[in-house]
Amino acid sequence: MYRVNAVKLAVDEKADERPRGVNEVARTVIVRSAPLPRRTFRAFVELEGMYRNMVEQLVLYAVNNNVTKFTRLKAEKYREVRSLYPQLPSHYAYTACQDAAERAHSFLRLKRMGRARKPYPEVRSVSIWLDDHLWRAEGLTSISMTTHKGRLRVSIELSKHFLRYVNRGWRLASEARVKLDHKERKLTLYLTFKKEVSEYRPKSYITVDVNENAEAVLIDGVVYLFETNLSKVTLGYYYRRKRIQEKYDRAYGPGSRPARRVFRRLSNNEKALKREIRWKLATLIVRQAARRQAAIVLEKLGKEPASHMIERIKNLQLRHRIFQAAFKGVQRAIDEKAREYGVPVIYVDPRNTSRVCPIHGAEIIYGKDRHGVCSRGGETWHRDVVACYNLLLRALGGDGGSAPSRLRALIPVDGGPVPLGPTAAHEPTLIARGAWARWRSLGATSDHKLMRVSA
Ligand SMILES: [Zn+2]
């Protein structure tokens, strides 16, 4: 076991005079309605048809005239689409302009990158955008919507997820979207909850070093290595795609429709798996930080590479960039989760964080298995442990980097008493994905588990 046993790194709280930010956090929650009576549902189907028609016309106009801004689209087309359906509340023409502007914007962007397959965007699935004039919540169990048939009331199925936001002080925002489920005669509502969260002043730090297959996290002087296998997932899917491509190309010729379908499914699976890994781990780390009123320290990464780079993975450099992209995803998840909990996040310069001994400042000579020896002290280090400690030192303002203003360690680390026991094995505690992935569902017991691992 590996922990700080000589000196506790402490922070002079008064030295940190950064203004503490207040963030607005928004989350979309999906709620379903009870099955609607035929007549009511028919009214919604009519509404959907009119809305779709407005959006289609607006998108066509926007793409032809290179309009990507809602304000311009509204100025040029609102009157016209408004007059198409005088029986419809006017705000539908307004939200249709917002909807269309966003569609045109993302289509034109794809087109610029040469990735648009069709000359015009298809308005395939429609969700009707609502604003505060078009709907309101009636208590917790129903909503009402203004339509061409007057105000229609719809009761919604309460879900645990929905109630959790209500109970935790989130407020329901006025913007919402609604989609029709024609098969079950239900509405699917996309509601937005918002909350203002202010950052606390950190009492300590949790540093996170992300690498290809694990995230190393320094908590209370212990480095945990949470296995993610992100590169294995990425490469695994890459080789599967390649195998399938060869098979389909032989059978149907290159770029066939069935091949594209299989590819789409595979890449959806890959995305979903990665997203789950990222969010679970982000939640775990952020909760630990919030409990300790700690700030999270992350490496400042460079610009994000395009995701289609993945197709040419052979090149080593590209491979590196792809994994950088994956790291960015991990960081984004932590950042977003942190905002929700008011956890401050600090980005520091990542240069050489795993090359220099955090005690002696001398270079570490690495052999295999991510292990190295300090060229001055001769002690053995695990690469991720080194990185975590150096990130901490940088956050404390120990060396250069882009450390926050005037944070400093009360007790000097380099030179003086060492934070790490010289005889300790500088080894992180590895926690397999199968183990930590279950923690969230166990909720309150996660901390207990973390204690047990470190014991
Ligand atoms: Zn050393």
Question: In the structure encoding, which two tokens stand for residue 184, read together?
Answer: 């079950």
Residue 371 alpha carbon to ligand 1 centre in Å? 13
Confidence band, pLDDT 50/70/90 cuts, at residue 231: confident
For residue 422, the CA-to-ligand 1 centroid distance in Å is 9
Global pTM value: 0.70
427 alpha carbon – ligand 1 mean position (Å): 14
Tally DSSP H helices, then E strands, for the chain. Answer: 11, 16
pLDDT value of residue 220: 86
What is the rounded average pLDDT for all residues in the chain? 81
Q: How far apart are alpha carbons 126 and 189 in whole angstroms?
A: 12
User: What number is the average pLDDT over the span 338-363?
Assistant: 89
Three-state SS at 276: helix
Is the per-residue pLDDT at 318 higher than 60?
no
pLDDT digits 0-9 by tens, 376-422: 988 888 888 999 999 998 888 744 433 333 333 333 333 333 445 44
Predicted local distance difference test score (pLDDT) of residue 354:
87
Query: What pLDDT was estimated at residue 285?
Result: 94
d(CA 379, CA 143): 65
What confidence tens digit (pLDDT) does each residue in 366-377 have? Answer: 987 888 998 998
Q: Supply the pLDDT for residue 270.
A: 86
Percent of the chain with pLDDT over 70: 80
CA of 3 to the centre of ligand 1 (A): 16
| d(CA 66, ligand 1 centre) in Å | 60
Most confident listed range (39-48, 194-203, 405-414): 39-48
CA of 401 relative to ligand 1 center, distance in Å: 20
For the segment 1-21, what is each residue's pLDDT rounded down to a tens digit? 333 333 334 444 444 455 567
Tokens of residue 264, six digits: 């789409």
CA of 450 to the centre of ligand 1 (A): 28
Q: Does the pLDDT at position 449 exceed 60?
A: no
Query: Do residues 175 and 149 lie in contact, with contact meaning Cβ atoms separated by under 8 Å?
Result: no
Structure tokens at 72: 């311009």
With a CB cutoff of 8 Å and minimum separation 6, the contacts of 270 are 233, 234, 237
Which has more pLDDT, 7 or 230?
Answer: 230
3-state secondary structure of 177: strand
In the three-class reduction of DSSP (H, G, I as helix; E, B as strand; rest coil), residue 249 is classed as helix
> Which of the two residues, 442 and 269, has the higher pLDDT score?
269
Ligand 1 mean position, distance from CA 421 (Å): 11
Q: How far apart are CA 280 and CA 228, in angstroms?
A: 10
Residues 6 or more apart in contact with residue 328 via CB below 8 angstroms? 301, 304
Please give the pLDDT value at position 20.
66
DSSP class of 37:
P
* Contacts (Cβ under 8 Å, ≥6 apart) of 30: 161, 188, 189, 190, 191
Question: Which residue did the predictor score with more confidence, 427 or 83?
Answer: 83
Give strand pairing partners of 24: 196
How many CA atoms lie within 13 Å of 324's alpha carbon, on the beta-carbon side?
16
pLDDT > 90: percent of the chain:
41
Measured between alpha carbons, how far is 34 from 39 in angstroms, rounded to an integer? 14
**Secondary structure letter of residue 201 according to DSSP:** P
Q: Which pLDDT score is estimated for 208?
A: 94
Q: Which of 386, 390, 391, 362 is nearest to 374 (CA)?
A: 362
Q: How close is the Cα of 394 to the center of ligand 1, in Å? A: 17
Q: Give yes or no for a contact between 95 and 134, defined as CB atoms under 8 angstroms apart.
A: yes
pLDDT level of residue 324 (50, 70, 90 thresholds): low
Is the Cα dihedral 199, 204, 210, 214 positive or negative?
A: negative
Amino acid occupying residue 430: L
pLDDT at 400: 40
Taking the centre of ligand 1 as the mean of its atom positions, its distance from the CA of residue 359, in whole angstroms, is: 5
In 3D space, the residue among 422, 423, 426 whose CA is nearest the CA of residue 389 turns out to be: 426
Q: Give residue 208 CA to ligand 1 midpoint distance, Å.
A: 21
Cα 286 to chain center, whole Å? 13
The DSSP bridge pattern shows strands 128-130 and 204-210 to be unpaired
Range with lowest mean pLDDT among 5-9, 26-30, 48-52, 173-177: 5-9
Half-sphere exposure of 310 (CA within 13 A, CB side): 21
Instruction: Please give the distance, rounded to the nearest whole angstrom, from the Cα atom of residue 374 to the centre of ligand 1.
Output: 4
Asked if 200 contacts 11 with a C-beta cutoff of 8 angstroms, the reply is: no
Residue 317 has a pLDDT of 58
Structure tokens at 113: 């990158």
